[in-house]
Amino acid sequence: GAGVSQSPSNKVTEKGKDVELRCDPISGHTALYWYRQSLGQGLEFLIYFQGNSAPDKSGLPSDRFSAERTGGSVSTLTIQRTQQEDSAVYLCASSLVQGNRGQYFGPGTRLTVL
């Protein structure tokens, strides 16, 4: 079946511009996660959505980062006033229910801030 999809696959932007990254989770998965992977680094948790519960935003690095999930499905991660240190691969994952269930990742969006 279809996996997690993300768009765009690559995004190049200029410092100071806003960007929006999109994630389509696996159908029926109620939990959705965003992670960031900097060059040669591990994955860093950003934000988590589960159903109608308040999202866990504890991993967002600054108030320039925000995310929303509409209708319990598609999610958008927005980065305002991008900085060069925001350059990374942004990965989305989804799972059936919260907590200890397998998280399945999309291919990621590679963001480059010039």
Partner 1 sequence: GENVEQHPSTLSVQEGDSAVIKCTYSDSASNYFPWYKQELGKGPQLIIDIRSNVGEKKDQRIAVTLNKTAKHFSLHITETQPEDSAVYFCAASKRSGNTGKLIFGQGTTLQVKP
Angstrom distance (rounded) from CA 93 to CA 34: 6
Site for partner 1 in 55-94 (CB under 8 A): 56, 58-59, 91
Angstrom distance (rounded) from CA 34 to CA 102: 14
Query: Which residues make Cβ contacts (< 8 Å) with residue 78, sequence separation at least 6?
Result: 18, 19, 20, 21, 65, 66, 67, 68
User: By CB under 8 A, is residue 44 in contact with partner 1?
Assistant: yes
Minimum distance from CB of 83 to partner 1 (Å)? 23
| Number of residues counted as binding partner 1 (CB under 8 A) | 29
Question: Site for partner 1 (CB under 8 A): which residue of 12, 101, 112, 114?
Answer: 101
Angstrom distance (rounded) from CA 39 to CA 85: 11
- Smaller CB separation from partner 1, 37 or 80: 37
Minimum distance from CB of 24 to partner 1 (Å)? 13
| Residue among 97, 74, 83, 75 nearest 38 (CA) | 83
Which parts of this chain interact with partner 1 (CB under 8 A)?
Answer: 4, 31, 33, 35, 41-45, 48, 50, 53-54, 56, 58-59, 91, 95, 98-108
